[in-house]
Chain A
Amino acid sequence: MTTTVPRPNSVRSPLASLRERAVRLAEMVTTPLLPVDYLDLFDPLRSGAALRGRIEAVLHETRDAASIVIRPGRDWLPHKPGQYVRIGIDVDGVRQWRAYSITSVLDRADGCFTITVKAIPGGLVSNHLVHRVRPGTIVQLDQATGEFCLPEQAPDKALFVTAGSGITPVMGILRNSAELLTDTVLVHSAPTADDVVFGAELRQMAAEGRIRLIEQHTDTAGMLDARSIAELVPDLHERSTWACGPVGMLEALEEHWASVGAADKLYTERFRPRILVTGEGGTVTFSKNGTTVEADGATPILDAGEEAGVLMPSGCRMGICFGCVLPLREGAVRDLRNGEITTAAPGDGVLIQTCVSAAAGACDIDH
């Protein structure tokens, strides 16, 4: 018998097939479960597991905001500053998914990242994260995503306009891009000085000359409009601008930037969908699941399904990530953002975003 020196590419494939066989054997041993179901008992953050994280600490920033330090599983990929991460957390035993901006520096020594959350009145998840969650809690994660980032070539002059928790993606950028941003203005609105999330750190940055900080305390000084921003920042339209905050503020800014023909210099980030139009609703049938629910015209099909106990795929819940898309077999749905009606005849299987679509009459979802 002769032996040959194995060539590099022929080394890999037997190894890969051996590995594959080992996995299949392990699956036969653990059937009807999978090997991961047992491995998860001991190390939920290991490489190869569904992406999860463990909450390591909750750092209070203001009376109603906190930064959550999360140790991600080993398959976590580094994020780009300004991006958000979707987090699945059990609140009162029920899995809830929300998106939060990542606020930490990229290469933390401990390998963790932070999200910063402002508790909104009545907000199920935000209040849980800020006030109740305990270190040690395991959360589900998706990889970081989002387009609210600096371009490859950082602008010479930058302007950030934020309000409330809108500061969070911007803080992610500011903390990581000190050397890229040489001329930066931040206009931030919050009810009072104490309500400014990262207030001390931002003021410190301003004192060091890294940014020009304009704080607007709306309880006493009222809201800023586009015109007063233009007065505060005279070279406004020379600056690439990133804005994040309430829908009303973003719309006013978009209108203003468009009116001066500078719409391409404004990047906005929304945390919630803009719900424009609601309609009459209808009966929603999830045909594979066999569940039928009555949904009004303002309730996204995603929410209606979850309420009825259907295991729905979900994502950003604001019409961006397409993680919730399902085929509409028959019927009509209304896009809550613009009122557009989508209809499907049997056999069409039109893909719809369930998080921003409400029933507009009876509809049959293939799920």
Chain B
Amino acid sequence: MTVIQKKIDDNPIAHLSAEDIELIGKELDTIRQEIRDSLGEDDAKYIRTVIDVQRKLELGSRAVLLASMFPPAWFVGTVGLSLAKILENMEIGHNILHGQWDWMRDPKIHSTTWEWDMASPAAQWKHSHNELHHTYTNVIGKDNDLGYGIMRVDEDQKWHPLYLAQPLWNFVNACFFEYGIAAYDLELGKNLATKKRRQNPEFRAATKQVLKKVRNQATKDYVLHPALSGPSFVPTLAANFTANVVRNLWSHSVIMCGHFPEGVQTFEKTSIEGETRGEWYLRQMLGSANISGSKAMHILTGNLSHQVEHHLFPDLPSNRYAEIAPRVKDIFDRYELTYHSAPLVQQVASAWHKVIRLSLPNDWLAETRPSNLPSQLGKLWKMTTGGPKVRRAMQTRPAAA
């Protein structure tokens, strides 16, 4: 894959005229307005019910964990707490912080007052996620969600032997995803690079906020709750750690599925200058992928399984994405665009396949078969141990360029 602008033979939007793109925009605007106008009591009831269930599930699970020295209690409590944390982050926190429920004018459920069970403070996450990721979706170099600044996400990025460890990094990042998010909300890579940036008071203040949040979160999960469990101190600590890792793995997987599966398009920085509303919509359509599955799965993903719909209408309440989806798909079909949707396991596998593929030199994985494995490994060895010149000489050029 490569940025869409460089695709000459198989550019998926070559058949669309500028008028088509603006028409798509108008149709999507109409859907958005219809849903906005129809928001009401049932929607409000939905989010309040989810919050109510989540809080009771969390309280109950934490209560059960007070006796976590008994294995069944540990198991039940850990499952319950993992689910509660997933609900809290995905269907509740993520969506409230998007402003999806601001229309209710309830100060308790509002993007400006909400704080979530997560290392990254809500205010910082809202900036990096709502303003950067949702504006610059899948634009290489602008959208930090694309590989979180530490991964090779596109054939156009030069391969380096360090990328061989990319699947491992990705897995470690998945396990400790909430800290990864906090670090990337701080733009650590950029801000730690020079002394001047390190000493920037804004960066220092933001770092302080993150550390305070991390400390509060860790005190709750790894000190106070275990301490309240008395003789069950260690099992409760283990349960809370497990629940956090389960939640991290789950949210990382869901988010990888949103933009990383094979076939999802990436864009060049220059391509979004002077972008019209229709073109912005189109970029969201091409840059997102859905997960198909049961209603429970949709809720546990925070309805990010409807990633396409979410990216088109990030501030519409998540409980409405399912009803919007067929109408959006119809637009895809009529304009001959590919609506990426597949079951969870398939999307996760596809995203991981891409991570692994890009950890290797371009086309290496595709060219490798059992019969030529020894020679391919030899080639990889040479590229890994050789200098930049060797790599450049052996590197296949991006397929579509």
A residues neighboring B (CB under 8 Å)? 25, 28-33, 37-38, 41, 90, 92-96, 289, 306, 309, 311
Contacts and interface: CB of A to CB of B under 8 A. Distances in A.
Nearest to A34: B115
Q: Which 9 A-B pairs have the closest CB atoms?
A: A93-B44, A32-B115, A95-B105, A92-B40, A309-B102, A31-B216, A93-B41, A93-B40, A311-B110
A306 B112 contact: no
A31 B55 contact: no
Nearest to A25: B224
A311 B116 contact: no
17 contacts: A29-B228, A30-B220, A32-B115, A32-B213, A32-B216, A33-B115, A41-B55, A93-B40, A93-B41, A93-B44, A93-B45, A94-B103, A94-B105, A95-B106, A289-B112, A309-B102, A311-B110
A289 B225 CA distance: 36
Nearest to A32: B115
B381 to A, nearest CB: 49
B224 A29 contact: yes
Nearest to A311: B110
Contacts of B41: 90, 92-93
A29 to B, nearest CB: 5
B56 interface: yes
B22 interface: no
Residue of A38, A41, A90, A96 contacting most chain B CB atoms (<10 Å)? A90
Please classify the interface of chain B as helix (H, G, I), strand (E, B), loop, or mixed, using the class held by over half of its residues: helix
A252 to B, nearest CB: 37
Nearest to B59: A38
B43 A93 contact: yes
B104 A90 contact: yes
A311 B42 CA distance: 21
A21 to B, nearest CB: 13
Interface of B: 39-45, 52, 55-56, 59, 99, 102-108, 110, 112-113, 115-117, 213, 216-217, 219-220, 224-225, 228
B219 A28 contact: yes
B52 A41 contact: yes
B107 A311 contact: yes
Nearest to B103: A309
Given A32-B116, A95-B106, 6 more contacts: A37-B55, A93-B42, A93-B103, A93-B104, A309-B99, A311-B110
B225 A29 contact: yes
A25 B227 CA distance: 12
Nearest to A30: B220
A25 B105 CA distance: 31
A37 B113 CA distance: 13
Contacts of B115: 32-33
Contacts of B225: 29
Contacts of B43: 93
Contacts of B56: 41
Nearest to A50: B108
A25 B102 CA distance: 31
Contacts of A29: 220, 224-225, 228
A92 B106 CA distance: 13
A94 B112 contact: no
B197 to A, nearest CB: 25
A40 to B, nearest CB: 8
Given A93-B39, A93-B44, A28 B104 contact: no
Contacts of B110: 311
B244 to A, nearest CB: 14
A96 B104 CA distance: 9
Residue of A31, A32, A92, A95 contacting most chain B CB atoms (<10 Å)? A32
A253 to B, nearest CB: 36
Contacts of B103: 93-94, 309
Contacts of B105: 94-96, 306, 311
